[in-house]
């Protein structure tokens, strides 16, 4: 197959499929992720616009999200731990994909479960963070005692939408793990709502979604918590 610009033209003008070497399910997942990128960008850019245009001081995230440990307050500690948990889950997911293509059922299953457990840990810590903000700091979507009223709306919308993605990811990780350990993919049994044969590429497609969730967190961490 031709490479470079010639390759692009050849692929797009070719018969049947534009994305060579890519199973259709994977191409569709990429297109879904592209649309999801636009949704998250809308949130993040709206947040930037609101934060830049407010005349009230913005609550200092470094202090709001700090934790007090052994009588010492450490800035952003909880968020840092959450970041490491999510990155670790991405690492285990990448390895699950690798073992999946090697048809190593046991390792794929174990690594998928690790990923799901780390994802659930992340959501748990987020629930803890929300509880702290709502109950102890009095932060509401329409206002808060610390400064600019828009802080709550932006925070709950962005992290809430991200947390929902993580939760849905955990559910699908558990479904994928079940399919792997049951041998559905080895025996090419069709999944629910489809007549197509089960294949190990569904682990990679699951992985794409999971890495995307981690990717979004990279941006949220930088622009919401570190700004």
Partner 1 sequence: MAAHVEGQQHPIGIYLKIWGLLFVLSTASYLVDYFHFQGYLRWFLIITFMLLKAGLIVAVFMHMLWERLAMVYAILVPTTLLMVLLGIGALEADYTFFTRGVFFLKGLF
Structure tokens at 58: 């913005």
CB neighbours (10 Å) of residue 207? 25
Question: Taking the complex as a whole, how short is the minimal distance between the CB of residue 122 and partner 1, in angstroms?
Answer: 14
**Bridge partner list, 74:** 67
Question: Taking the complex as a whole, how short is the minimal distance between the CB of residue 188 and partner 1, in angstroms?
Answer: 14
147 vs 110: CA distance, rounded Å:
46
Question: Taking the complex as a whole, how short is the minimal distance between the CB of residue 209 and partner 1, in angstroms?
Answer: 10
Among 65, 81, 66, smallest CA distance to 155 is for 65
**Bridge partner list, 140:** 143
Question: Taking the complex as a whole, how short is the minimal distance between the CB of residue 7 and partner 1, in angstroms?
Answer: 6
Structure tokens at 103: 């048809």
Question: Taking the complex as a whole, how short is the minimal distance between the CB of residue 101 and partner 1, in angstroms?
Answer: 5
Question: Taking the complex as a whole, how short is the minimal distance between the CB of residue 137 and partner 1, in angstroms?
Answer: 19
Among 144, 124, 137, 173, smallest CA distance to 56 is for 144
Closer CB to partner 1, 38 or 142, in the complex: 38
Closer CB to partner 1, 48 or 146, in the complex: 48
String of DSSP letters for 163-190: HHHHHHHHHHHHHHHHHHHHTTTTTT--
Closer CB to partner 1, 53 or 135, in the complex: 53
Closer CB to partner 1, 27 or 146, in the complex: 27
21 vs 204: CA distance, rounded Å:
14
Closer CB to partner 1, 132 or 199, in the complex: 199
Closer CB to partner 1, 27 or 175, in the complex: 27
CB neighbours (10 Å) of residue 9? 11
Closer CB to partner 1, 21 or 194, in the complex: 21
- The site for partner 1 (CB under 8 A) is made up of 1, 3-5, 7-8, 11-12, 15-16, 18-23, 27, 30, 33-34, 37-38, 41-42, 45-46, 48-55, 62, 75-76, 80, 83-84, 87-88, 90-91, 93-95, 97-98, 101-102, 200-201, 204, 207-208, 211-212, 214-215, 218-219, 221-223, 225-227
Residues 6+ apart with CB under 8 A from 122: 82, 85, 86, 89, 166
Question: Taking the complex as a whole, how short is the minimal distance between the CB of residue 161 and partner 1, in angstroms?
Answer: 17
């Amino acid at each position: 197959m031709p490479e470079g610009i010639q390759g692009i033209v050849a692929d797009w003008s070719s018969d049947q499929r534009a994305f060579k070497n890519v199973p259709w399910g994977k191409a569709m997942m990429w297109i879904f992720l592209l649309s999801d990128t636009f949704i998250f960008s809308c949130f993040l850019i709206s947040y930037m616009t609101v934060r830049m245009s407010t005349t009230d001081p913005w609550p200092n995230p470094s202090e709001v999200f700090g934790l007090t440990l052994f009588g010492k307050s450490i800035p952003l500690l909880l968020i840092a731990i959450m970041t490491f948990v999510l990155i670790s889950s991405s690492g285990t997911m990448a390895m699950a994909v690798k073992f999946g293509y090697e048809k190593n059922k046991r390792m794929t299953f174990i690594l998928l479960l690790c990923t799901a457990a780390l994802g659930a840990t992340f959501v748990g810590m987020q629930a803890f963070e929300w509880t702290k903000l709502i109950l102890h700091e009095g932060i509401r979507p329409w206002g808060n005692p610390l400064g600019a009223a828009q802080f709550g709306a932006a925070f709950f919308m962005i992290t809430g939408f991200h947390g929902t993605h993580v939760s849905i990811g955990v559910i699908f990780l558990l479904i994928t793990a079940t399919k792997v350990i049951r041998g559905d993919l080895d025996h090419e049994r069709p999944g629910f709502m489809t007549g197509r044969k089960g294949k190990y590429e569904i682990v990679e497609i699951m992985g794409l979604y999971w890495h995307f969730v981690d990717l979004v967190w990279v941006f949220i961490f930088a622009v919401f918590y570190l700004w």
